[in-house]
Amino acid sequence: MKQSFRYGMLVTAALVSSIALAPDVFAQDAAGKDWPTPAGSVNGQRYSTLNQINAQNAGKLQVAWTFSTGVLRGHEGQPLVVGDTMFLDTPFPNTVFALDLAHDGKILWKYEPKQDPNVIPVMCCDTVNRGVAYGDGKIFLHQADTTLVALDAKTGKVAWSVKTADSSKGATGTDAPLVVKDKVYVGVSGGEFGVRGWFAAYNVADGKEVWRGYSMGPDSDTLIVPGKTTDLGKAVAADSSVTSWQGDQWKIGGGATWGWKSYDPKTNLIFYGSGNPSTWNPSQRPGDNKYSMTIWARDADTGAVKWLYQMTPHDQWDYDGVNEMVLTDQKIDGQDRRLLVHFDRNGFGYTLDRDTGALLVAQKFDPAVNWATKIDLDPKSPTYGRPELDEKYAPGHNGQDVNSTNICPAALGSKDEQPSAFSPQTGLFYVPTNHVCMDYEPFRVSYTAGQPYVGATLAMYPPKGDTNMGNFIAWDATKGKIVWSDPEQFSAWGGALATAGDVVFYGTLEGYLKAVDAKTGKLLYKFKTPSGIIGNVMTYEHDGRQFVAVLSGVGGWAGIGLAAGLTDPHAGLGAVGGYAALNQYTSLGGALTVFALPQN
């Protein structure tokens, strides 16, 4: 595929003086007038205290203004707003825009990185990027070619840049960075190319790497502290990761870290998840394959691991564990608890004590889930925290390559990276979900650096007897129960936003921005944007008005057929066939749509 791009950075000097940036924001609570970090706040809640738009007037929303990004592929991120300026980026080539909110979104500056288009073929599931981060007067971007760049927020000029990995060997940058105090945190994509996952901290001031913790390998690499790091309350033994792999397979073991990150200032812990082990063929990697598919709690200053929990040992289905880690304070059984809530690709919603890593709740958030019957929640049991498998849905059962059919969920999970939101007002989580099953046939594959290292053929389809491929649900994480559920024709792949107005927003693959009542799920408003939505809804206030904004641009794993022009139903790791009908409802695009109530 040939594409031409205009490279270099364009800075319009005449506009620089018009940028008005608010003081640096350390977003640890709910978002308010600004949206300064990818999830609005570092706790990952995607909740805003703004309430001008509420359940009574949301039906009156109108389009306030729009902006074309000029890029046609999957737009999987969200804008940031700091003061009078909005910042957003695009899929490859990862153009960054600064827009003047005081002048109808006028372009203040544009950064166009020079990247080798040869990185495109090693991007697993479309050329997505999940957004930029802000801190210390800088905008941080993790480019597809694994360059972490810091831009002056007022001018767009490069303050510093550093390479985090080697894209020629399959590593790519697709994640949204997170800024906490004087550090910026990033992970890596590339599990489908045998890249060994890592998570790293860099100095905000100069880009110097402070620490890096790998997903697997010896303790010196993972930064696990034997005897002190705990796994469900038990001290972790020395080199526990290495001993869970056969031979040196851990060196190409996957466990990528391209998902969302959260931070707790009280304990100074940063939380994230690691993805699937490599290869997808489980018979080639016997053992638990630690620590792929794991929730990590690391000291933000040193990277030392305080606790971890592997959700899907010896993953046989590509159930990446990289989805968001949402931090809340709620009561469970009448007791105040500091919680971490995670909706995993494997279809279970997990509630843990975020200080200790104790597992409190683990229940299915899609009733179709069948690969496991339950998670063992008995702390006294030798299998505490492990899934109880239904072996007929295990492709690598007894070390054999078996074609298993009707596995639910499919590899893209009951929820992929599309983030949930939490409302402290209702105490509920709002979760965009996939309602999709699969056939999964593994085959033997050899590793070559920079080449696909998958080893499985997939087919995807709705659960038997159903026609909808998604649901948008409200979830009680203290009980592990669905409170209400709104069906969607296709997967609900747009990230959610909850507000103090008791309105919840999300986007659909057909391109609808939807607003629903937070208490009942009743549809209050919908508008079809120019392309399918896989971006995440955010909100901000400017000149006394509340605005709601979302990027549309179909793509990502579910939309890869449209994004890349693929027609083989097995292409896109099975997604092309599963979502073949999507091209009847939307087409490629790259646009920002901003909504507000009518002015009096």
Q: Could you tell me which residues come within 8 angstroms of residue 389 by beta carbon, excluding any fewer than 6 positions away?
A: 371, 372, 373
The predicted structure's pLDDT at residue 25: 39
- Answer whether 538's CB lies under 8 Å from 549's CB: yes
Domain ranges, residue 274: 8-16+35-596
Catalytic-residue membership of 318: yes
Residue 591 lies in a domain: yes
Pick from 35, 79, 58, 172: nearest CA to 452? 172
Residue 439 lies in a domain: yes
| Three-state SS letters, 117-157 | HHHHHHCCCCCCCCCCEEECCEEEEECCCCEEEEEECCCCC
Residue 22 lies in a domain: no
Residue 21 lies in a domain: no
The predicted structure's pLDDT at residue 131: 98
- Answer whether 396's CB lies under 8 Å from 283's CB: yes
The predicted structure's pLDDT at residue 399: 67
Phi and psi at residue 199, to the nearest 5°: -135, 135
The predicted structure's pLDDT at residue 327: 98
The predicted structure's pLDDT at residue 571: 87
The predicted structure's pLDDT at residue 573: 84
Residue 29 lies in a domain: no
The number of domains in the chain is 1
CATH number at residue 388: 2.140.10.10
Residue 30 lies in a domain: no
The predicted structure's pLDDT at residue 398: 64
How far is 317 from 371, CA to CA, in rounded Å? 9
Residue 25 lies in a domain: no
Residue 470 lies in a domain: yes
The predicted structure's pLDDT at residue 273: 98
Query: Which residues of the chain are modeled with pLDDT < 50?
Result: 1-27
Catalytic residue among 318, 344, 476, 486: 318
* Secondary structure percentages of the chain, helix, strand, coil, to 5: 10, 35, 55
Cβ-based neighbour number of residue 427 at 10 Å:
14
Long-range (24+ apart) CB contacts under 8 A made by 134-137 are 134/25, 134/36, 134/37, 134/80, 134/82, 134/87, 134/179, 135/24, 135/179, 135/184, 135/204, 136/24, 136/179, 136/182, 136/204, 136/205, 137/21, 137/24
The predicted structure's pLDDT at residue 600: 76
The predicted structure's pLDDT at residue 28: 53
The predicted structure's pLDDT at residue 557: 86
DSSP string computed for 450-499:
TS----EEEEEEPPTT----EEEEEEETTTTEEEEEEEESS---SBPEEE
DSSP string computed for 263-283:
EETTTTEEEEE---BS-S-GG
